[in-house]
Structure 1
Amino acid sequence: METPQYVAARVQRALAEDDRTNELGIRVDVRGDQVYLRGQVPCDERRHLIEAVAREAAPGLTVHNEIRLLEVHEPGEEEHL
């Protein structure tokens, strides 16, 4: 059986190398047969593509997509800190 670190590295590499995602900013945590994806992306479509690539890279494991959408402000909109 593969170690969690090996599975996480494989998923991370797939996200970076797959033309659909080319994603470097997603954190991948593996606990047992559970894969957790965390980070932020600009749109829902990207969120789903990342999940699809992760599922292909880790067949048979349960993928939890905890990726959040970035808050995008319209230009000129006041930003409250």
Structure 2
Amino acid sequence: MRRALAEDPRTAELGIQVDVRGSHAYLSGTVASAACKQQLAEVLGEREPGLRVHNDVRVVEAGEPGEAEVLR
């Protein structure tokens, strides 16, 4: 499953952990946007339609830096 997420061009995520317990898949890790998080669940759902996906991936958006940091 991790390989499917890494190889699919919609996700290409290597830092996502997938823990499968019976018919449930638990995703954890971090991504850059809510869209990326949603695509992870979609890719797994297409790949393994019988699994119930629990998407516990956190979204950590990287924005533009604010003011310049002054070092003294």
Alignment TM-score, normalising by the size of structure 1: 0.74
Note the C-alpha offset of 1:72: 3.4
Secondary structure of 2:66 counterpart: coil
In structure 2, how many angstroms separate the alpha carbons of the residues matched to 1:75 and 1:60?
A: 43
Aligned to 2:7: 17
**Residue of structure 2 equivalent to 1:59:** 49
- When the two chains are superposed, the root-mean-square deviation of aligned CA atoms in Å is 1.7
Q: Which runs of 5+ in 2 are unaligned?
A: 68-72
SS in structure 2 of the partner of residue 22 of structure 1? coil
Counterparts of 1:74 and 1:22, CA distance in 2: 23
Higher relative helix content: 1
TM-score, structure 2 as length reference: 0.83
- 2:10 is aligned with 1:27: no
- Distance (whole Å) between structure 2 residues aligned to residue 34 and residue 25 of structure 1: 19
Higher deviation after alignment, 64-73 or 39-48:
64-73
Q: Give the deviation of 1:54 after TM superposition.
A: 1.1
Unaligned runs of 5+ in 1: 1-10
The percentage of counterpart residues that share the same residue type is 52
3-state SS of the aligned residue for 2:3? helix
Moved over 6 A (4+): none
**SS of structure 2 residue aligned to 1:76:** coil
